[in-house]
Chain A
Amino acid sequence: MSSARQQILASVRRSLRRAEPSAETRAELEQRLAAPTANLIPQRAQLPHAEQLDLMEAMLQELKATVVRLPGEAAVPQAVADYLKSENLPPKLRLAPRDDLRHLPWDSAPLLEVEEGIAEADDATSLTGAFAGIAETGTLMMASGPEAPTTLNFLPENHIVVLRTSQVIGSYEEAWQRLRAALGPGVMPRAVNMITGPSRTGDIEQTILLGAHGPRRLHVLLVDDRDSG
């Protein structure tokens, strides 16, 4: 234990005019951390699922992201090819290394050049999954890991995200519950990125401009997976 640490903690306790927390207080606080409870959650974040999907889409559009709804994941390759063509972007993708994306019918878009891995400096477009879509503010939640390199979210100029309808939830709090269910209580991946629209800046005369350092374009493919369970 460092002396700097002791010095700071002693100063905190001196100012609070007390010794270390009692066993009873400590137990209460431990409980608060062990079983986190939600505070006030806005009405907007508690809609039925179908309305959440609409809200997610509306919020993304407001943020100058673009959204396409797809009936199933088989439609993804063609939708990607169409998007890149409509934006005049090279037909090249850096794909997040995950099975569900890897096994999409890429043959259906034969002109697309698809490579897997972390983002390289000259990658123009990435395609990733998401951990959740939070309808409240149109926020995509990414949880880093072997199948979700963080660099794919930031380095390329264009970011395409496959979001399944079953991943769309109302609030940030629901996202934390899902993450705890997936990884265990109190455990976090190295990085959780909440992405709300493309990169932007207002640093020059308050003029809002897209594509400051992160992606200039954020395109969401909202894939209906209600039938596949």
Chain B
Amino acid sequence: MQSTSHAFKDNARAALANQTLQKAMRHVKTGFIDKRAKARARLPEFDALRDVARDIKNHTLANLDFYLERYEEKVIASGGQVHWAPTAEDAVKAVLDICRRVDARVVTKGKSMISEEIALNQAMERAGLDVVETDLGEYIIQLRKEPPSHIIAPAVHLTKEQVEADFRHHHRELPPERALGEPVQLVAEARQMLRRRFLEADVGITGANFLVAETGTSIIVTNEGNGDLTQTLPRVHIVVASLEKVVPTLEDVSTILRVLARSATGQEFSSYTTFSTGPRRPEDPDGPEEYHVILLDNGRSNMLGGQFQDMLRCIRCGACMNHCPVYHAVGGHAYGWVYPGPMGAVLTPNLIGVDEAGHLPNASTFCGRCEAVCPMRIPLPKMMRHWREREFERHLTPATVRSGLALWAFFARRPKLYRFATGLQARLLGRLGRAAGRFDALPFARGWTRHRDFPAPEGRTFQQLWAERQKGGRR
């Protein structure tokens, strides 16, 4: 998809002023957080499992070449095929080649962020295929021709009134007087509309939450059952997965599954966790005749061994964005590409470049909630800091910020001067602000005071207070 990450500031400003979006986002701020907290409290081993999950992925990444080769061997042994795709274009081409060879017309899809990353739907539509998203949220945004705004809840930015309007507009064959005001009616209508499409599809495409090297298995984790209908009913099942999804054994994946759903939706386990290994066996009464895996790199192998390797542990649960005050405020579309929130702020510059996505690592207050809730213990704030450093080194930071930082660095390198200057500043501001206790305007700080007051200092600096407290004994 075409990125608008470079326009993050404008996107965010528009999002803050969008009343409908703000109304829809209210559900995100409490729902996900409460549910995760409850699920965590119910499983005393939860945090210990996070450590184990992290170690499993670290081990896998350190031996990724071995596990990828073993995974491929097992897929082939079970009658499936693996298509290695260094770039997004390679992956799209592999999918289109298969669709062409089997003379496909209708293609159903389970939810897949990788297919968003490689812009698969657009390419398939250009090739004349009838592409149908079957996850309810994805179906809604496909009708609206929008990208997802959340990695597990793609339509979280919409209200039920908007969905009702879309359904009335697109489902013209249904009686216009039907009741459609409640979510239960909307879900029933989507079920009815998509049922026919599941049955007529020639090819089903899903993503993968995990790939298992031990058995050559791909795994999808869903709640609706659409992914299973997508991959069971058509003649051909294509899995699009990125290469860091591999884990060694079924035991390893079981450990990670224990933290996935709890972190994502607060469920103990998602409704459907499906392990697919190859095509239909000779004696099987149903299932696809062909099974293909598109194994995508698209820049990930370059992240190994460097500052961003930890990001490859990500299992796409969405907990980081569910807990992010910036995501809550602006929603997912403001980030401008496929992956929003803290995980997107780290991953997007890796995949499409810091020149395009340099604003995203700055869209954080470093409050640390994302890292605190990450089931894979990914140090997201640290990695956002790495991007900020690179941005600075590459002179992508605006001139005013650079000169401001240079001025601050001049003082910071000279401790006596720093103490003198900050002491002076604190005394001066303390005296000037004593009456009001705050400033509603300050020179050089308009960026702050435009939207909120600046609290007046009480006359002494942090360092002075600290020194006094040390002298007076710890209280």
Contacts and interface: CB of A to CB of B under 8 A. Distances in A.
Contact of B183 (A42, A151, A205): A205
Shortest Cβ-Cβ A-B pairs, 4 listed = A214-B225, A212-B224, A15-B304, A203-B137
Contacts of A211: 187-188, 191
B226 interface: yes
Nearest to B111: A203
Contact of B194 (A40, A206, A213): A213
Nearest to A39: B255
Interface in A19-48: 20-21, 25-26, 29, 32-33, 36-40, 42-44
Interface residues of A, number: 78
Contacts of A176: 250-251, 254
A189 interface: yes
Contacts of B90: 4
Interface in A136-189: 137-139, 144-146, 149-151, 153-155, 171-173, 176, 186-189
Contacts of B68: 8-9, 12
B268 interface: yes
B112 interface: no
B66 A21 contact: yes
Nearest to A198: B271
Interface stretch (B155-163, B353-361, B385-393): B155-163
B164 to A, nearest CB: 9
B228 A173 contact: no
Interface string A32-76: 110011111011100000000000000100000000000000000
A191 B27 contact: no
Contacts of A29: 63, 66-67, 70, 248
A109 interface: no
Given A40-B48, A176-B254, A212 B223 contact: yes
B271 A32 contact: no
Interface residues on B, range: 35 or more
A88 to B, nearest CB: 17
A62 B193 CA distance: 30
B443 interface: no
B281 interface: yes
Contacts of A205: 24, 27, 159-160, 183
Interface in B400-441: none
A124 interface: no
B66 A201 contact: no
Nearest to A26: B66
B274 interface: yes
A226 interface: no
A32 B84 CA distance: 25
Given A97-B285, A146-B283, A173 B251 contact: yes
Interface string B15-30: 0000000001001100
A39 to B, nearest CB: 4
Contacts of B63: 21, 25, 29
Interface of B: 24, 27-28, 31-32, 43-45, 48-49, 52, 56, 62-70, 72, 74, 78, 83-86, 90, 134-137, 140, 153-156, 158-160, 163, 183-184, 186-188, 190-191, 194-195, 198-199, 213-217, 223-226, 228-229, 232-233, 243, 248-252, 254-255, 257-258, 265, 267-281, 283-287, 295, 297, 301-306
Given A11-B302, A26-B66, A215-B225, 15 more contacts: A4-B84, A5-B72, A7-B86, A33-B213, A36-B248, A149-B285, A155-B229, A186-B74, A188-B216, A192-B274, A199-B271, A202-B223, A203-B153, A212-B136, A214-B272
Given A207-B183, A209-B187, A15 B229 contact: no
A33 B243 contact: no
B70 A137 contact: no
Interface in A106-122: 117-119, 121
Contacts of B274: 191-194
Contacts of A78: none
B252 A39 contact: yes
A129 interface: no
A8 B52 CA distance: 28
Nearest to B226: A213
A152 B31 CA distance: 33
A103 interface: no
A13 B301 CA distance: 9
B44 A4 contact: no
Contacts of A119: 286
Contact of B284 (A25, A33, A39, A144): A144
A48 B285 CA distance: 37
Contacts of A79: none
B265 A213 contact: no
Given A33-B213, A176-B254, A213 B225 contact: yes
Contacts of A33: 70, 213-214, 248-249
26 contacts: A12-B68, A17-B305, A32-B248, A32-B249, A33-B248, A39-B251, A39-B252, A39-B255, A44-B43, A121-B195, A149-B286, A150-B232, A154-B228, A154-B229, A171-B254, A176-B251, A190-B276, A199-B224, A204-B183, A204-B186, A209-B187, A212-B225, A213-B224, A213-B225, A213-B226, A213-B229
